[in-house]
Amino acid sequence: MLGTQQLLDAALRSGLPRFVHVSTDEVYGSIATGSWNEERALEPNSPYSASKAGSDLLARSYHRTHGLNVSITRCSNNYGPYHFPEKLIPLFVSNLIDDLHVPLYGEGNNIRDWLHVDDHTRAIALVLTRGRAGEIYNIGGGTELTNTELTQMLLDSTGKDWSYVDRVADRLGHDLRYSVDITKIQAELGYKPEVPFEQGLADVVQWYRDNREWWEPLKERAALIG
């Protein structure tokens, strides 16, 4: 959050004409049914999401107090190439293609909406060029899956079965479901997700097969530190 304030201060001092603060759907907390819109009060449940919510409020305050031309985006779970291999999809893909097991948290019932990085960056560009100052825009991918459903797709795409899945204790503060309503960014800026999830996931699996020299050193370094 300190870094966010430093960036906002620098933007204000330099007269930066536009500032987009990229946040996460985690700031809303879990939702059992339906989807959060931008008017929903923030209810983060983990230290990470609480820090993100604090950054959102800082960005909003710089618009309200100083008139900074800032907009806030809140995205769902990203996936795509160059995704750090500690995250679910790259971790599972890189492990499975190396004939290693993967860890599935809890019962695997946690639900996430998956957003391809190309769609996310397209949406950020729309907000940067056409978004209204002081406004918040949710960005989603339109594909909600349980972690069990996603794991099955990754097993299928790598030719593995459930014997490669290790059930592990759920992590602390692990919200059951996130879901954001993207009506606002659709209506105001014309955004819609364009990458079909099945194709995007297949492309990602192939990318990790083809780019071992990028992710393998990262995993080795993480294993040494851990």
Gyration radius from the chain CA atoms: 19
Q: Is 186 exposed, middle or buried (0-12, 13-18, 19+ CB in 10 A)?
A: middle
H-state helical runs in 15-71: 47-66
> Could you say which of 9, 38, 39, 48 is catalytic?
48
In the block, tokens 């031309």 appear at: 69
Q: How many Å is the maximal CA-CA distance in the chain?
A: 57
CB 136 within 8 A of CB 74: yes
Q: How far apart are the C-alpha atoms of 188 and 186, rounded to whole Å?
A: 6
> Could you say which of 26, 56, 144, 175 is catalytic?
26
Picking from 157, 78, 67, 58, the residue whose alpha carbon sits closest to that of residue 119 is: 78
Tell me if residue 48 is catalytic: yes
Tell me if residue 25 is catalytic: yes
Q: How far apart are the C-alpha atoms of 135 and 137, rounded to whole Å?
A: 7
Question: What beta strand segments (E) does the chain contain?
Answer: 19-24, 70-75, 77-79, 102-105, 111-116, 136-139, 144-146, 165-168
Q: Which residues are catalytic?
A: 25-26, 48
